[in-house]
Amino acid sequence: MGSCIVRVIRDRWVRAPNWALALSLAVLGFTVSIVYMTPGGQFVLNLVDFYGVSFTALILAICELLAVGWVYGVKRFCADIEFMVGLKTGIYWRICWGIITPGLMLAVLIYTLIDLKPLTYKNIDYPG
């Protein structure tokens, strides 16, 4: 992952040696992660894990499914797959991409919002 980031930065913007960019990326990663090594680091990690990863990934997955299934359209999506792969997609996949999967993801989101409890760590509530 780090070498991919270094390559993108080097190709796009900076003409620096690979070792300098890799060192800069390592120092940046170390600096950002220092907060997790403090006494309150586990609190921050739980906060980032829930709001920055889990919940955000669910919202992005729903947006992606709605964009592909309803905005772009299942017909066009299946036509693109047929063009690229050479196989026609069946009705099962059209129903899954257009109805079942977005519906299930929305159900998971609704359940998550209904079952949402205040974030705690070791029986201590987060402020706010």
- CA–CA gap between residue 52 and residue 76 (Å, rounded): 32
Q: Give me the residue spans of the domains in the chain.
A: 1-37, 39-128
- CA–CA gap between residue 124 and residue 17 (Å, rounded): 47
pLDDT of 19: 84
Helix 18-33 vs helix 2-12: crossing angle, to nearest 10: 120
pLDDT of 125: 83
pLDDT of 47: 87
pLDDT of 110: 94
> Radius of gyration over alpha carbons of the chain, in Å?
21
pLDDT of 127: 80
pTM metric for this prediction: 0.66
Per-run averaged pLDDT (10 residues), the chain, 128 residues: 78 80 90 91 88 87 91 94 95 94 93 88 81
* Tokens matching residue 49: 């894990």
